[in-house]
Amino acid sequence: MRKITHEAGTMAALDEIDRNIVAMMQLDATLAYADLGERVGLSASTINDRLKRLRAKGVIRRVSAEIDPHALGLDLMIFVLVEVAGRAEELAFVAAMQAIPAVLECHHIAGEFSYLLKVRVASTAAYETFLDRHLKALTGIRRTQSLIALSSAKDSRVLPSIASAEGA
């Protein structure tokens, strides 16, 4: 996955208004600048400037719609543990995973396995095709372990605020 580097303490460098803007944008990125401004006591043009700065700093990476995967027929979510043989194979593996739309997340992890994938497909047959075409076809894949999610008690992209993260 794309590696992102930030200045040390970027969130700490944000003032309270920026933190409030970020929190509100996470919950509803369609809020008009005038509405955001009203909530934090700033003009719409000042909100525009702050959002441009937050994007330039990499605090806000993108604004997108959250789509229900079931509405698109992507009913199966699988977490896949992958052990990759060596560094050269890892580079090829990461590049391959970045190119596959069904791979929603790819994390380099500590432990017996090298990577953790989050995969969304329509069915077990589609997952079998994914395994055959994408994982088994790669050189250097030592082993995989698939964990099928039966349901999700919590599935959120909303990050905790600084205050709640410190108290977690």
CA distance 102 to 117: 10
Tokens read off for 24: 């509100």
Q: What's the order of all strands across the beta sheet hosting 141-149?
A: 103-108, 115-121, 76-84, 141-149
pLDDT, residue 6, reads 46
pLDDT (average), residues 73-78: 97
Whether pLDDT at 161 is above 80: no
- pLDDT category at 158 given cuts 50, 70, 90 is confident
- DSSP conformational letter for 161: P
Instruction: Look at 16-20, 34-38, 130-134, 163-167 and tell me which has the smallest mean pLDDT.
Output: 163-167
| Count of Cβ atoms closer than 10 Å to residue 166 Cβ | 8
Whether pLDDT at 100 is above 70: yes
pLDDT (average), residues 47-74: 93
Whether pLDDT at 150 is above 70: yes
pLDDT, residue 164, reads 53
CATH number, span 16-56? 1.10.10.10
- For the chain, where do the domains classified as CATH 1.10.10.10 start and end? 16-56
Identify each DSSP E strand in the chain by its residue range. 76-84, 103-108, 115-121, 141-149
Whether pLDDT at 167 is above 90: no
Question: Are 105 and 117 contacting, i.e. CB atoms less than 8 angstroms apart?
Answer: yes
CATH number, span 69-149? 3.30.70.920
- For the chain, where do the domains classified as CATH 3.30.70.920 start and end? 69-149
